[in-house]
Amino acid sequence: MGDLNDIKKKRGIGHLDSPKMPFDYFNREYGTVPRDTKRAPFQWVSEVAYKNVHRIVSRGYDTSELMEEGYGVVDVLFVDYQSRIPLIEEEQMLNYVMILALEDGLSAPAAMSRIVARTKTFLTQAAAASILAFGHAYGAYSAFGNRLERYLKKADAQKLTLAQAAELLVRENAREHESLGVSGLMLKDPAAQRMIARAEKLGVAGKYIAFMKEIAKAAQTQSPEPVDIDMLGATGAVMMDLGFSAEATWAILAVTRALAAGAHYIEEIERHPYMRLGEALTPKEDYDGPADRPVPPLKDRAKVAQSGVCKTVDAWMQAREERKKLVGSGYAIEEEIEDPSKKSGIKKVGKL
């Protein structure tokens, strides 16, 4: 065939042979060229782990040796995220947290797993849908934990007591009630208080639990309704006292919940047949919208059509109030869920 560059040069391709080109395109090298040692090549570099045909190594520990010595999954979570083997009390505490987080009954994440399961899909897809239902507004460990970090740093910088920092946090973040860690959810359920008591009994409670208690006191003073530490506050504070970052907490507990989602998937497809596309009916008895009405002829469109344009502020306000009554229009939604990457408190992604 001859030299590929010569063939292409004789043929001519677009403007590649233009004398205005800053280099001779057709004399460039093909194939392997000597490695340029002055420029870093693209490659994955990991401080977490490596694998070859002989072993998988996490943070310097051979995972086969960890297993043979009797260490468990919870221990290796500390190795992977914190590069250390935990105290037995820390291992027991994380076991406690993960067991409580693993199963939550027929909650929204479990329901999502079951709905996806009925559509005849893979278990992993159903578990992924469940994690997405775990959601930022629901499982707000990132927003919660990063907020605690910010106010503890502010306390150090401004020489505030924990009580003063907690009062400031509650006052400045009252609207962020879903991720505050304090609410009226656990007034009758002792699970959150039991988790904190367990951490204190094991001797792993630290500054985050202490700060969380002060936040609860401040919230109780400022809130018109009874409130106390909820499961987000207890779990988030305990995990951070165990040395896990807010993001690590989010990851560990979301995947923990996915384990239970798999069980819900399996039960759903064993109990019920798959639903084919279009098979499920939605009867009129379950509909509470406008009554059935005839479709007007297209020629009469001008007689029945209504403009959505408002020409005055008062007209716009009145139209908005009417539209709020139309369920499904979105006008009654007071606040959208914020972008998690912004709400988490992380200013830079992937950078120190």
pLDDT digits (tens, 9 = 90+) for 246-267: 999 988 998 898 899 899 999 9
**In contact, 207 and 241? CB cutoff 8 Å:** yes
Query: Which pLDDT tens digit goes with each residue over 18-41?
Result: 888 787 777 777 667 788 889 888
Under 8 Å between Cβ of 132 and 112: yes
- Asked if the model's pLDDT at residue 59 lies above 90, the reply is yes
Percent of residues, the chain, with pLDDT higher than 70: 91
Report how far residue 305's alpha carbon sits from residue 2's, in angstroms, rounded to the nearest whole number.
Answer: 72
pLDDT (0 to 100) of residue 342: 57
Which residue ranges make up each domain of the chain?
1-38, 49-85, 87-279
Give mean pLDDT, residues 348-352: 45
pLDDT of residue 235: 95
Average pLDDT, the chain: 87
- pTM recorded for the entire structure: 0.77
**Over 70: is that where the pLDDT of 350 sits?**
no
CB half-sphere exposure, 114, CA atoms < 13 A: 14
Average pLDDT in the 169-192 region?
Answer: 89
Residue 278 has pLDDT above 50, yes or no: yes
pLDDT in tens, 119-168: 888 888 888 888 877 766 556 888 899 999 999 999 999 999 999 999 99
What distance in Å separates the CA atoms of residue 2 and residue 4, rounded to the nearest whole number? Answer: 6
Q: How many CB atoms lie within 10 A of CB 14?
A: 7
| pLDDT confidence of residue 35 | 82
